[in-house]
Amino acid sequence: MPVSRTAATFAPPVMEARRWLDGVTFSPDAPLINVSQAAPVDPPPPALRQAMADAALTRDDAHLYGPVLGMAALRDALSTQINTHYDAATRAEHVAITSGCNQAFAAIIASLCDEGDEVILPTPWYFNHKMWLDMSGVASVPLPVGAGMLPDVADARALITPRTKAIALVTPNNPAGVEYPADLVLAFYELARDAGITLIVDETYRDFDSRSGPPHPLFQQDGWEDTFVHLYSFSKTYRLTGHRVGALVAASDRLAEVEKFLDTVAICPGQLGQYAALWGLENLGQWVASERDEILTRRAAITDGFPQLEAKGWSLMGLGAYFAYVTHPFALSSADLAPRLVREAGILCLPGTMFWPDGDERGARQLRIAFANLDANGIADLYTRLSALDL
């Protein structure tokens, strides 16, 4: 029997991890600490929810099909914000609104790649990127990161073949959290430009970057749209995960190809979510800044408290945005450790094996901790439980 496209890849990791909770009870004194998923657990702020309710009640078009590439006002507003944030000169015609950032990645890959083509992914990789490439018949070429959890341009150059269509970076990174230096991102852009391939940069977590100013200069390059594709998500910024609103920014002729994909998958992004994203862009700048400050405070708590774990043989490999990426000191693989953490410590996190190719032993020592939903007390509790482990 032929193998289906979906059978070509693995089960969704977050859903697999949630199954580890089946049959496990947690005491009131030690409730579950869920650091498995990079998604806000709180709803949008009340003012945004009110704006969404108003749109649902007063805007007839909030319930109808809209433009395949997204509503014009939102495309224009995001272009304006990008121009401010990156000192860029994009136009609304460069912007497509998608049903979440995962769909943005799927759409750009569909427009770039054919059966048997290749895309270079730094490892540890974002598993949904790997899953989509698997289901598209596109080979994921692993680029193991080096010092500081950063990919090396020379190593990437050596992996380029006549079938290579793109390099896909995530910064701030998922799963490692690290923020790629501007000169490194520019070097990857120059590599892609010179090789005649595309550089895809997923910046889902850019609003929580600890740096000020543009995180890279790619939008400032002459002819940027011939090489660079920017992916973005409104979900984390405005707590709109359930409404699935993302975006991609690319050459207008590339968006003509993207439109074909989007029209056959979802026809258009959800209208109500788009109204929410637009209202957020226009009204929530200060609120987003305060959310960023809180994430940076939690990031500092990860750093400040880590010596407690370091004394037990743990190490902190990467940190930033929503994530801490760590190595554990135990003899067993993280694939076995992570389910045991649920039962023995009340902690749900993802093993490093979910972010590496099958059989790569580097993932066996690693865990991803999505800390954005833990305050300083929650982080302290997490550290206390991990440091008490005796496996």
Q: What is the pLDDT along the chain (391 residues), one digit of tens a residue?
A: 557 889 989 889 889 999 999 989 998 989 999 999 887 888 999 999 999 999 999 999 999 999 999 999 999 999 999 999 999 999 999 999 999 999 999 999 999 999 999 999 999 999 999 999 999 999 999 999 999 999 999 999 999 999 999 999 999 999 999 999 999 999 999 999 999 999 999 999 999 999 988 999 999 999 999 999 999 999 999 999 999 999 999 999 999 999 999 999 999 999 999 999 999 999 999 999 999 999 999 999 999 999 999 999 999 999 998 999 999 999 999 999 999 999 999 999 999 999 999 989 999 999 999 998 999 999 999 999 999 998 8
Gyration radius of the chain's alpha carbons = 21
CA 101 and chain centroid, separation: 8
Grouping H, G, I as helix, E, B as strand and the rest as coil, residue 347 is: strand
Q: Report the distance separating Cα 215 and Cα 203, nearest Å.
A: 10
Domain boundaries, the chain: 6-43+287-387, 46-284
Q: Report the distance separating Cα 149 and Cα 162, nearest Å.
A: 27
Amino acid identity at 200? I
* Prediction pTM value: 0.95
Strand order in the sheet with 366-370: 315-320, 323-327, 366-370, 350-351
> What DSSP string describes 238-294?
HT-GGG--EEEE--HHHHHHHHHHHHHHTSS--HHHHHHHHHHHHH-HHHHHHHHHH
pLDDT score for 295: 94
Residue 80, exposed/middle/buried by CB under 10 A (0-12, 13-18, 19+)? Answer: middle
Fold match, 6-43+287-387 / 46-284: no
Report which secondary-structure segment, H or E, holds 108. Answer: helix 101-112
Nearest to 168 by CA among 188, 147, 184: 188
The pairing of beta strand 228-233 with beta strand 164-170 = unpaired
Instruction: Please work out, in degrees rounded to the nearest 5, the angle formed at the alpha carbon of residue 272 by the alpha carbons of 268 and 275.
Output: 100
- For residue 62, CA distances in Å to 54, 73, 174, 274 come to 10, 13, 32, 9
Q: Report the distance separating Cα 246 and Cα 220, nearest Å.
A: 22
CA 381 and chain centroid, separation: 26
Region 46-284: CATH code: 3.40.640.10
The domain at 6-43+287-387 falls in which architecture?
Answer: Alpha-Beta Complex (3.90)
